């Protein structure tokens, strides 16, 4: 079978799937799952296909989408095919960077033309097709863009959903709720949506009305409007927007007046298909003292979560940030920071800035030993990075007096299920293993089941002090176990 024939079959299958999504008014969903996978080549009956990441491939495989493609190709060519995945998290970012590079070239050419002593008509000819640079949005940080966001397993889905919203605002994912712990990139993604739409306004919206705020500022503005009797101006401002971006909605708790106003703002914006994006430190269902009708509105779009980045993603973030600042940091120092700071991207960048700042001030070369001294308050003294999932399973089983077979089994009895959840949580916190890898260690479960186990323990820890005590006890036993 020739390469061209297999390529034709591939294209026909993807086109048919796309048409099915379109007929169901679900084209954004198609873009999200299929939009960034590409046929590369084939050898005999093996098709090499590029995917944005291993995480995305596993998602497609788990949902049966890969098998669906293979089955459809078999109908067309009467052959069983296998799909060999290759991964490239940089596909979209490379395209965006190329676009930016092209714009920069145009700007440089334009600048050169302006400096030349040409006639007025010649200048007009040179600048006729050059796009006018839009002014920066006053509420959005210029550096918060998609091309500067490092994509990894922990944020692939949230990133893809945010890009989809930017391409077709006010449609499928409305509202979009981005949730996760502090410092993982929620605000970056939210403002990237705003910056993209401000620079690339949707058709018919040459000057989109985009507003970014956080809950604290919104509350202050609302309270001032009540006090000054200017509520009409407040409501007019927010109900006539094209894009509303609100950070930290977890602070809505017990703000009855603001909740009521936000509900009616939500209704007004929904009627005109204005895009809404919110961030929260937890899933919307976990919010306390928020009206049920408002929770319902938040839940009607799509909720995407951000997890702590794994080692590879942390390293990629550090490398990208150092490149952006034009500073060369040794591989050993990058590795030191990436292994030491595990939970918070903001802290990760803070450590890098501390090292870079020292280098710039002292003009001295940085060594690993010097970096350790500079970051002594940030680098954990423990040796969690040497913990294995096997050690965690053994300690958890010993603590609960169950067997490895019990914890890897499928029984939902709380006697086995809760230790299993705890083992997943500790594996995620104390190792650099991905959810997919942890799933493989626990009997080959689906990685989404592993993610749910992790979330369950995180949720319990927010309200149950005894669980916090239990986790700390088991952590200490794991560390002691390594010393034996």
> Phi/psi class of residue 141: alpha, beta or left (left: φ > 0; alpha: ψ in -120 to 50)?
beta
Q: Looking at domain 384-483, does it have CATH number 1.10.1750.10? A: yes
The residues, ordered by sequence, that sit 6+ positions from 237 with a Cβ below 8 Å of its Cβ are 211
Asked whether 278 and 248 are in contact (CB, 8 A), the reply is no
CA separation for the pair 389, 415 (Å, rounded): 20
CA separation for the pair 479, 341 (Å, rounded): 18
What pLDDT was estimated at residue 339? Answer: 82
Q: How many CB atoms lie within 10 A of CB 378?
A: 14
> Strand runs (DSSP E) across 44-142, as ranges?
46-51, 82-87
> Strand runs (DSSP E) across 284-329, as ranges?
302-305
Q: How many CA atoms does the CB half-sphere of 73 hold within 13 Å?
A: 23
Q: Please name every residue paired with 39 in a beta bridge, in sequence order, or none if there are none.
A: 49
Closest to 169 measured CA to CA, from 229, 245, 108, 235 = 245
Q: How many residues does this entry show for the chain?
A: 484
Closest to 31 measured CA to CA, from 208, 151, 198, 171 = 171
Task: Write out the two tokens for 404.
Answer: 């490895």
Q: How large is the C-alpha radius of gyration of the chain?
A: 26
Domains 3-88 and 311-374 share a fold: no
CA separation for the pair 275, 28 (Å, rounded): 14
pLDDT digits (tens, 9 = 90+) for 263-286: 999 999 999 999 999 999 888 878
Low-confidence ranges of the chain (pLDDT < 50): 1-4, 89-100, 102-107, 110-134, 381-384, 484
Closest to 194 measured CA to CA, from 145, 151, 131 = 145
- Spell out the CATH class of 3-88: alpha beta
Asked whether 193 and 157 are in contact (CB, 8 A), the reply is no
Q: Please name every residue paired with 451 in a beta bridge, in sequence order, or none if there are none.
A: none
**What CATH number belongs to 146-305?**
3.40.50.300
Domain ranges of the chain: 3-88, 92-127, 146-305, 311-374, 384-483
pLDDT digits (tens, 9 = 90+) for 290-310: 899 999 888 888 888 888 788
The residues, ordered by sequence, that sit 6+ positions from 372 with a Cβ below 8 Å of its Cβ are 336, 379
What pLDDT was estimated at residue 26? Answer: 67
Asked whether 194 and 210 are in contact (CB, 8 A), the reply is yes
Q: How many CB atoms lie within 10 A of CB 404?
A: 14
Question: How far, CA to CA in Å, does 386 sit from each of 18, 393, 427, 430?
Answer: 46, 15, 12, 9
Angle at 30 between CA 26 and CA 34, to 5 degrees: 175
Q: Looking at domain 311-374, does it have CATH number 1.10.8.60? A: yes
């Amino acid at each position: 079978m020739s390469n061209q024939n297999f390529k034709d079959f591939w294209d026909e299958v993807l086109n048919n799937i796309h048409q099915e999504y379109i007929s169901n008014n679900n084209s954004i969903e198609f873009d999200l799952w299929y939009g960034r996978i590409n046929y590369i080549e084939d050898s005999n009956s093996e098709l090499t296909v590029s995917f944005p990441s291993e995480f995305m491939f596993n998602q497609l495989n788990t949902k049966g989408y890969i098998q669906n493609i293979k089955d459809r190709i078999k109908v067309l060519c009467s052959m069983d095919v296998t799909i060999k995945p290759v991964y490239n998290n940089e596909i979209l970012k490379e395209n965006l960077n190329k676009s930016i590079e092209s714009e920069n070239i145009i700007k440089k050419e334009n600048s050169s033309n302006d400096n030349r002593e040409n006639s007025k008509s010649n200048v007009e000819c040179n600048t006729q097709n050059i796009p006018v640079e839009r002014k920066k949005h006053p509420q959005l940080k210029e550096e918060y863009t998609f091309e500067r966001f490092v994509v990894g397993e922990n944020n692939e889905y949230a990133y893809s959903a945010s890009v989809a919203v930017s391409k077709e605002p006010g449609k499928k994912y409305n509202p979009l709720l981005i949730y996760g712990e502090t410092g993982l990139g929620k605000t970056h993604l939210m403002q990237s949506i705003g910056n993209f739409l401000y620079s690339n306004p949707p058709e018919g919206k040459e000057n989109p009305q985009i507003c970014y705020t956080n809950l604290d500022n919104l509350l202050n503005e609302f309270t001032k409007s009540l006090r000054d009797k200017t509520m009409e101006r407040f409501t007019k401002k927010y109900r006539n927007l094209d894009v509303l971006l609100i950070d930290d909605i977890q602070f809505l708790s017990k703000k009855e007046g603001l909740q009521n106003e936000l509900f009616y703002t939500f209704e007004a914006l929904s009627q005109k298909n204005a895009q809404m994006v919110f961030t929260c430190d937890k899933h919307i269902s976990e919010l306390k003292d928020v009206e049920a009708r408002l929770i319902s509105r938040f839940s009607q779009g799509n909720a995407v979560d951000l997890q702590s980045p794994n080692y590879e993603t942390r390293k990629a973030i550090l490398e990208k940030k150092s490149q952006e600042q034009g500073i060369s940091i040794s591989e050993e120092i990058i590795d030191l920071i990436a292994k030491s700071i595990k939970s918070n991207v903001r802290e990760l960048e803070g450590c890098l800035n501390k090292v870079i700042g020292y280098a710039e001030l002292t003009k001295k070369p940085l060594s690993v030993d010097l970096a350790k001294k500079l970051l002594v308050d940030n680098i954990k003294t423990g040796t969690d990075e040497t913990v294995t999932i096997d050690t965690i399973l053994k300690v958890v089983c010993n603590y609960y007096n169950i067997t490895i077979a019990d914890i890897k089994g499928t029984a939902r009895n709380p006697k086995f299920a809760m230790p299993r959840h705890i083992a997943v949580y500790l594996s995620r916190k104390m190792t650099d293993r991905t959810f997919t890898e942890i799933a493989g260690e626990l009997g080959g479960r689906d990685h989404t089941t592993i993610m749910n186990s992790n979330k369950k323990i995180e949720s319990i820890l927010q309200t149950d002090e005894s669980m916090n005590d239990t986790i700390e006890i088991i952590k200490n036993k794991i560390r002691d176990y390594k010393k034996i």
